Amino acid sequence: MTPGLERILRALDALAGSLVGLMLFTMMCLTTADVVSRYLFNRPIGAALELTEALMAITIFAAFPLVAARGRHITVDLTEMMLPKRARLFLDALAQLVCAAMCGFLAWRMIERAVQLHGYGETSAVLGYPVWPTAAVIALGCAVATPMFALRGLMLFRRAAKRGDRSQHAPEGALQYD
């Protein structure tokens, strides 16, 4: 990968991480304010739950491409350690491709759902804001994560297919786009 492209990808990664962090911080502040308002003044923030629900969905799916690019999704490797390194690479590659297929399917269905919600004019119960943008962000997060999972899976298959290759997975948290 060219140094310029790598710099751009790292900058986008940092920007996306900062936005996700800001959304988490916003949810934390909103929840804290709601709890304090409820217990000290007996006046909860009326739309706090609704806003937190929307922010939670947006935060999770906005972070999906970051998780895919960094290879930081949750894994359980109870029996994987008994396999040879090459078999582990093949298994990890297969898991990445399954994740790509699932994300692609979810992106497609959420695009349909966002269009449907927009057509119906569906709004939230308390604030009355349109809910289709939340579905659109979920679709976008899955659509961006799909090729990342697929490329990572193909990269791992290529690495596993090389004869005599003793390389390990990328270090934890390392961006691996090539």
- Across 4-8, 164-168, 169-173, the highest mean pLDDT is recorded for 4-8
Query: pLDDT at position 21, please?
Result: 94
pLDDT 10s digits, 64-76 = 888 888 888 887 7
Average pLDDT over residues 18-30: 94
Lowest mean pLDDT among 28-37, 41-50, 166-175: 166-175
Domain parsing of the chain, residue ranges: 3-161
Share of the chain above pLDDT 90, in %: 56
State the virtual CA torsion across 14, 20, 22, 26 in degrees, nearest 10.
Answer: 180
Pick the closest to residue 60 from 49, 70, 52, 48 (CA basis).
Answer: 52
In the numeric block, which tokens belong to residue 80? 């994987």
pLDDT beyond 70 at 176: no
Task: Report the chain's mean pLDDT, rounded to a whole number.
Answer: 87
Q: What is the pLDDT of residues 111-170, one digit of tens each?
A: 999 999 999 999 998 899 999 999 999 999 999 999 989 988 999 999 988 865 555 555
The pTM assigned to this predicted structure is: 0.80
